Structure formats: C-alpha cells, structure tokens
Amino acid sequence: MRNPVQLGLLLLALTAIGVFGYNVYLRETTPPQRAYTEFLAELRQGTIAKVHFRGQALTGEDSASRPFGTFVPDVGALVPLLLEKEVAITGEAEVTSGVADGLKTLLPFLLILGGWLIFSKKPSQGNFGAGRGSRFTPVKSERITFADVAGITEAKEELQEIVEFLKNPAKHSRLGGRIPKGVLLQGAPGTGKTLLAKAIAGEASVAFFSMGGSDFVEIFAGVGASRVRELFAEAKKSAPCLIFIDEIDAIGGRRSGGQNSGASDEREQTLNALLVEMDGFDSEKTIIMIAATNRPDILDPALLRPGRFDRQITISLPDVKGRLKILEVHAKKIIAIPEIDLAAIARSIPGFSGAEIANLVNEAALTAAKRNKAAVEMTDFEEAKDKIVMGLERKSIVVSEKDRRLTAYHEAGHAIVGLLLEETDPLHKITIIPRGRAMGLTQQVALDERHTYSREYLLNRIAILMGGRAAETLVFNRLTTGASNDILQATEIAARLVCEWGMSPAIGPIAYIRGSEGFLGESGKVKPHSEMIARRIDHEIKHLIGGCYDQAADVLKKHNRFLHKFAEALLLNETMDAEEVDIVYRRYLKERDIERLLTENGGKNDSTNTHEQTEVFS
C-alpha cells in the first residue's frame, strides 16, 4: 500500500462498500411508512396493538402484527388517545449521533482524500523510488542483435566500437584513451534509432535502461531532476550498462536564457541535472548513454559538446541496397512465393524508411490474407504500396464519364511529357482510379539514387507537372482545379531553384533563403532583400514556370495523336504500368513512321511500297 494510487482506490472501495451496506441495513430494518391520518383512523377503530416512540418518530404493530412507521407532529396530544385505546406504549430518547450521522459526516472527507491520493502525482523525496521503481530497472525483452538491423551499414560499423567498449573496456583504455560517454543517434522518424540502441545492448549483453524524454517532464518542480539523479544512481549499480533516452529533445532543448515560463523552467532544471550527471560519471563505471532524436537542431549546445555526447551518428534513409536488405529481413517473417522480386520493390519505394518498409510488408501480408491466398504475391505488394503511397481506393465515389475523360487526358499529359523529355525519371505507373484525395496519379521512379539534381532535371520536372494543365487546355480548352497540387509543387521547385540553389541566370548564384532546409525538411529563413529583388524573384519564378508550361504544351501539340491514343487506352484499362505504356508508345511510333513513308512516296500504295513497309515493321 505504499503506492498512493492503490491506497486511494482502496479507501474509495471501502467507502462505497460501507455506504451500500448501510443502505441495505436501513431498507431491511425500516418498517413501511403510513400517513398520520391513516394511523389516527386505525387507532380510533382499535386496530393498533403497540407503539414505540423515538422522538417524534413512531413505529409499532397493528392487531394483525404488521409493522408500520409514521411521524407524529404532536406527541402530547396523541398519548391520551393511546391510553384510552389501551395501546402498549414504549419509548426512548432521540439519539443525535450514530452510525448514519457518522457516515454522513465522514463520507465527503473520505471521497476528497481518495481523489487527492489518486490524482496527486507529486511523490515525496523519501519514497520517490518506491512509487517509480519500475522506471529504473533494466529492460528485459527479446534479445536483439545487429543481425536484426539492416540498411544502415555505416551506422552499425560505427556502433560496433561501442559494443567493444562495453565488452572489454580495459583494451581501449590501456593506452590512455577515454571511453565515449554518449552517442547521439539523429535521423528521420522510422530509420531505426531505437532498434540500433537495443541491438547494442543485445550484442554487449549488458543491462539496458530505456526511457523516453517525456518521462522526466512533470508540472511539479524538481521531479524531473530527481528522476535523472535516481536513474543514474541505479545505472551505476548495474554497470557496465547502457542508458537509452528516446526523443531527448523533450528535455534537451536549447535553454531560453532566463525568460522562462514555469514549465520551461522545470524542463531546464531537468536538463541541468542531466548535464551534471553526465559530467559526474565515475571513471571506474562503464556507463554509456545513447540518445535518439529527429530534431538535433533544437538541442542545447552544452549537451552536444565532447565529454557528454562525444559521437553524433546520423541515421539516413536507406538507399536502394539498404531497402532491399530491410525487405529481405521482414520478408522472412511472412509466407511469400519464391518468385517475388524484392529488388524491383526496393527500387519502386524511394524515400521509404525502415518502419515504412516493415509496414509495407505487413500490409502486403494482410492484403493476401484478405483475398484468402496461400502466400503473398507480387500483386499484393503492389496493392499495399499503392495504398501507402496514394491512399485507399475510393470505390464508393461516383465519377461521371466527363470527369473520367478529363482525368485521363490530365494524367496522360504528365506521362507523355515525362516520357519524351530527355533528363527525367522513368514512368512506373499511371492510374485514373481515385485514391486518397487525388482523382488520378502518375508515378515516376528513378533507376538510381539521386543525391544531386541538375538544372535541366528540375526544369523538366516542372514541365512534367505542367503537362496535366497543358493537356486539359489543349483538348478541352478549359481550366479545372485538378492541377492545383501540380501548380503548388511546380512553384515550390521554381522558388527553391531561384532563391536557394542559385540556378537562375537572371538572379545569379545568390541564396535568398538562409539555412537551407532543416534536418527533416523544415523551411529555412528568408534572407532580407529589397522590394526590387523581390519583384525580380517573382518575375523569374513566373518566367521559369511559364517557359516550362510552354515546353509541355509544345510536346503535347507535336504528339497530339499519341495524347489521344494514350488517354483512350487509359480510359479502357484505368491503370497502366511502364510496360503497357511502352506498348502504346511503340505502336504510335510505328503508325507515325508508316504515314511518313507513305507521304514521302507520294501516297503510292503499290506492291513494292507495301513490301518495303512490311519488311521494315515486321
């Protein structure tokens, strides 16, 4: 009962039992009540046998031995009538305090006490460890090793050294070297930071203390700092060991220099306690602290200096080889046919993190199970990928034939511009089936990982985005809202091309966005500039987008017949992959070449020309 929550619940339960029992007692012992006038009428008729007075409350029995009760407004006037009818009379003095009054008095206090014990989280300094002891015991779970971690080879190699430190600290300190005190794992969500920390503990076979940064945060002053001190005290008892704090930015954010609210002041006290404890590691105790965050840009510099977090390891999104290895790890956990091409799946999911790849494999297994299949097939992976990337199919939506045709030409415009321009990513899939918030989607997938982008690639990307609007205007001579997201993306690329990457000849290699991107893509700060520069930037962005639109329109006008054939094929099939698009394109080229040969021969259709055409296109 040292836990105040348990004690409060016990008191509330006992109070409820007491009130319930008292109500049952009253119901069983209290006789039926009669009106006073009814009692007087029965008394005058001589049917009352005996009565008992308790103050002005009267109980008794009638001649049939039936108990009753009533309230007597004037006891003095009633007694002569009772004596006249020879009714047996007993009585007692009215008791002003008893069980009922005691319960009525104590019940509010018991309820208040129980509620306070339940909702009050402020622990006393003496029994803090008793109430929170489970927080500071080593985590016992299934052993995880580096074999369970895939796709981040460089980070694993760097952390192998940490394992060696924990296994054999004397080997590395014999020449005077100092074991690192802390390792900061920074990276996008889902890249495997927590899994890496568990793998280090599993490889080294040492005690592993795991907490979240928010576990230290409380509204009561001093609680967070007290928890930090207690955590490190327990870790020293279990050395050698690992301390892992996930999402350390919850307590390790940059301090505000004295202009604090109450909550931030408590967070800064917790951070100060953490800094002191990391400095106070006993040299004889092998304790390594690992922290994970996806916001290293907001951490306090004092936390990142050597001597605290000596090593900072960035966990990047996996490349195509890393994605393949992660797929292989998770594919072993499901039943799949041997013919599944994991390499093709890895190439088609650029930008997926390890967690997203695990979710993809799980969704594929659930899709196959829903269709009552004996094993997961490639189509299940494709369906799962489309669900994650594009959203669920909106099967219930009613799309008119006019809107379907408009969507088909819109998506065909994207695909044709991307297919016919030189420096672009290959087309992977095109669909006019509504998914998520989109009425259709054209998906391109790069064959190789791109780390830098040329000006030509970026301009072609804008032209591809403008291809949908250009196709709508060319075929239907109207503007719709279907291109809103395309325009938004094109404007963002053009703005960064001008203001951040210095690729505009009119503006020059000057960055008007300082700080580039944040760690996870947060926008940078805008560099102060004059109104004249702002007008030049706006004009250049408009000029770039307008030029790319004209380029897309020219491509579609030149290949107008291909646009119509592509859209008709898309209306018929609804979804087309790269191979099907290639078939339509080759057929279009063959028909165009036949027409050109006929035109060059003056439209003659003799046997010689027919034989030559058959020989060329057989």
Q: Provide the 8-state DSSP code for 93.
A: P
Most confident of 42-56, 232-246, 393-407, 459-473: 459-473
The predicted model gives 503-529 an average pLDDT of 68
Q: Measured in Å, how far apart are the chain's first and last C-alpha atoms?
A: 90
Return mean pLDDT, the chain: 80
Stronger pLDDT, 58 or 285, i.e. the higher one: 58
CB 550 within 8 A of CB 542: no
> Given pLDDT bands bounded at 50, 70 and 90, which one contains residue 615?
very low
Parallel/antiparallel/unpaired status of strands 88-92 and 57-62: unpaired
> Given pLDDT bands bounded at 50, 70 and 90, which one contains residue 170?
confident
- Cα separation, 160 vs 154, whole angstroms: 10
Name residue 223's amino acid. Answer: V
pLDDT digits (tens, 9 = 90+) for 561-591: 999 999 999 999 888 988 899 999 999 888 8
Q: Which of 234-248, 450-464, 531-545, 594-608 has the lowest mean pLDDT?
A: 594-608
- Cα separation, 407 vs 405, whole angstroms: 5
Q: What percent of the chain has pLDDT over 70?
A: 81
Q: What was the pLDDT predicted at 474?
A: 94
pLDDT digits (tens, 9 = 90+) for 423-470: 898 888 898 988 877 788 888 887 667 778 899 999 999 999 999 999
Q: What was the pLDDT predicted at 171?
A: 77
pLDDT digits (tens, 9 = 90+) for 75-88: 778 888 888 888 88
Q: What was the pLDDT predicted at 495?
A: 92
Helix (H) or strand (E) holding 36: helix 36-45
Q: Is 411 a catalytic residue?
A: yes
Angle at 265 between CA 262 and CA 266, to 5 degrees: 90
Q: For residue 571, what are the contacts with CB-CB under 8 A and spacing of at least 6?
A: 404, 405, 408, 432
Q: Is the dihedral of CA 311, 316, 320, 323 positive or negative?
A: positive
> Given pLDDT bands bounded at 50, 70 and 90, which one contains residue 317?
confident
Q: What was the pLDDT predicted at 56?
A: 79
Q: What was the pLDDT predicted at 100?
A: 57
Q: Is 478 helix (H, G, I), strand (E, B) or coil?
A: coil
The two three-digit tokens of residue 250, written as one number = 């919850």
Stronger pLDDT, 389 or 374, i.e. the higher one: 374
Q: What was the pLDDT predicted at 609?
A: 44
Q: Which of 52-56, 198-202, 592-596, 612-616 has the lowest mean pLDDT?
A: 612-616
Q: Provide the 8-state DSSP code for 547.
A: H
pLDDT of residue 124 exceeding 50, the answer is: no
> Given pLDDT bands bounded at 50, 70 and 90, which one contains residue 618?
very low
Q: In the 3-class helix/strand/coil scheme, how is 239-252 assigned residue by residue?
A: CCEEEEEECCHHHH
**Ramachandran region, residue 160 (left: φ > 0; alpha: ψ -120 to 50; beta: rest):** alpha
Catalytic residue (choose from 203, 266, 277, 411)? 411
Name residue 547's amino acid. Answer: G
Q: Which of 193-202, 345-354, 408-417, 524-533 has the lowest mean pLDDT?
A: 524-533
> Given pLDDT bands bounded at 50, 70 and 90, which one contains residue 421?
very high
The predicted model gives 203-224 an average pLDDT of 76
The predicted model gives 19-31 an average pLDDT of 72
pLDDT of residue 250 exceeding 80, the answer is: yes
Q: What was the pLDDT predicted at 87?
A: 83
Q: What is the pTM of this model?
A: 0.65
- Structural domains in the chain? 4-99 (3.30.720.210), 136-315 (3.40.50.300), 320-390 (1.10.8.60), 401-590 (1.20.58.760)
Helix (H) or strand (E) holding 592: helix 578-600
